């Protein structure tokens, strides 16, 4: 499963930089997690890093995004392949100038 942030979030900003997948972002009121980018840290760490640092324990699993470990690993591999492509791709391709 991807994780989610509940209304108990106090916007402390601690979790966002800890996410290896850049899945956490500040929404209209509180921080949110993009389920398409959250792997529960599978592929990067043994434990979800956001859960480790959150001072108010407001990051449970997201019941709307049930995924087993292999699905999460596949998501991790897709995200890292995309990141590699962006890093090594021709800069001119996306250059509007
Ligand atoms: S569990 Fe890991 S990948 Fe998911 S939002 Fe938290 S830090 Fe990011
Ligand atoms: S660490 Fe917890 S309280 Fe702080 S911004 Fe993240 S989800 Fe909200």
β-bridge pairing 24-26 and 31-33: antiparallel
Atom of ligand 2 nearest to the CA of 59: 7
Domain annotation covers residue 54? yes
Segment (H or E) for 24: strand 24-26
Q: Indicate whether residue 9 lines ligand 2 (CB < 6 A).
A: yes
Tell me: pLDDT of 89 over 80: no
C-alpha of residue 30 to centroid of ligand 1, in Å? 16
CB 73 within 8 A of CB 40: no
Q: Indicate whether residue 79 lines ligand 1 (CB < 6 A).
A: no
Query: Which range of residues forms the domain containing residue 26?
Result: 16-88
Selection from 15, 13, 11 nearest residue 30 by Cα: 11
Domain annotation covers residue 61? yes
Domain annotation covers residue 1? no
pLDDT reported for residue 91: 56
Domain annotation covers residue 93? no
Look at the chain and report how many structural domains it folds into: 1
Domain annotation covers residue 48? yes
pLDDT reported for residue 42: 96
Domain annotation covers residue 7? no
* Predicted confidence (pLDDT) per residue in 9-55, tens digit: 999 999 999 999 999 999 999 999 999 999 999 999 999 999 999 99
Average model confidence (pLDDT) for the chain? 92
Round to whole Å and give the CA distance between 53 and 20. 13
**With a threshold of 0.85, does the pTM exceed it?**
yes
CB 34 within 8 A of CB 23: yes
18 Cα distance to chain centroid: 9
Residue whose CB lies within 8 A of the most ligand 2 atoms, among 22, 56, 61, for a mutation test: 56
Look up the CATH number of the domain holding residue 66.
Answer: 3.30.70.20
Count of H-run helices and E-run strands, the chain: 3, 2
Round to whole Å and give the CA distance between 17 and 69. 23
Domain annotation covers residue 11? no
Domain annotation covers residue 76? yes
């Amino acid at each position: 499963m991807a994780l989610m942030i509940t209304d108990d979030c106090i916007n402390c900003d601690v979790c966002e930089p800890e996410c290896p997948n850049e899945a956490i972002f500040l929404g209209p009121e509180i921080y949110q997690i993009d389920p398409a980018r959250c792997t529960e840290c599978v592929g990067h760490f043994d434990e979800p890093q956001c859960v480790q640092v959150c001072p108010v324990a407001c990051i449970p699993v997201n019941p709307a995004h049930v995924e087993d470990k292999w699905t999460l690993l596949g998501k991790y591999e897709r995200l890292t392949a995309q990141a590699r492509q962006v890093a090594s791709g021709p800069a001119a391709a996306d250059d509007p100038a």
